[in-house]
Amino acid sequence: MDDWQKAGKIAWQALNYGKSLIKINENLLEVVEKIENEIIKNNAFPAFPVNVSINDMAAHFTPNDEKDLIFKENDLVKLDVGVHVNGFIGDNALTIDLGNNKELSKASQLALNEAVKLAKPGTKIYEIGSVIEKTIKEFGFNPIRNLSGHGIEQYEQHSGLTIPNYNNNDNLELEENQIIAIEPFATNGVGLVQDGKPSNIFKVVNVKPIRDNISRDVLRYIIQEYKTLPFAKRWLLKKFDSFKVNFALRNLERESILHNYPQLPEKSKGLVSQHEHTIMVKDNPEILTKE
């Protein structure tokens, strides 16, 4: 089994383990740390911090030092889990409905199922977006137009290829053995996200010299441990004290060395569901994020 398949299998196992943990009154921070620890126990590493985006929050929410956050009745939880093995990434997501939003969850799930069938050489990008849009709208919901699936390469979770959730008229064709993530988002809102608060999920975007010793030490550790993959502030707090972490992150962000991902709420505060698989493009598409 190659590293793509290993990462995909462990990601799928971690996602389903996480699904079993998400219940009313469970603590968010404890849940995400259990999932991340489970990944490490399986001789892999998180490709990004586990995301648990709730209700109108579509993406980029992970708890940091908030120890009092719990899952509540009627929450609609998007669990997004990524795993890497030697930089080869499995990225998958599902929605846990703690209320009465089964149809919204089903819309993104069936859109994913239909889209995966098209992950073949020669398929045009817009064709995938078109089937996602059609499936979600048949349920009476909207796809989120400014969130998309993406290509994946070693140590690059988003490699540049965009897999839309609507017909964007892109005639680019998929190629054999490309690795792509397809991730439909469905909403009862207008179908757009906007930038929210900082997530405290960071990524190195520009390596350059930095003067002060604290920032230099923290940056060295980030590059050594995470390379070009996203990481959480809370991960650094296991290595450095809070003063050093806050000081370094502030400096590194100001110097445009780090990007701090914004949280992404739905623009009209609509509820959002999400499902995602990582797929190898073949005549018979290979879902990597599976048992």
Enzyme catalytic residues: 80, 91, 150, 158, 183, 276
Phi (first) and psi of residue 100, to 5 degrees = -135, 55
Distance CA 203, CA 17 (A): 26
DSSP state at residue 123: -
| The residue type at 106 | K
Distance CA 126, CA 46 (A): 31
Residues in the chain: 291
- Name residues whose C-beta falls within 8 Å of residue 147's C-beta, 6 or more positions apart in sequence: 58, 59, 165, 183, 185, 193, 264
- Name residues whose C-beta falls within 8 Å of residue 271's C-beta, 6 or more positions apart in sequence: 55, 56, 76, 101, 104, 187, 188, 189
Whether 76 contacts 109, CB under 8 Å: no
Distance CA 186, CA 133 (A): 9
Whether 229 contacts 155, CB under 8 Å: yes
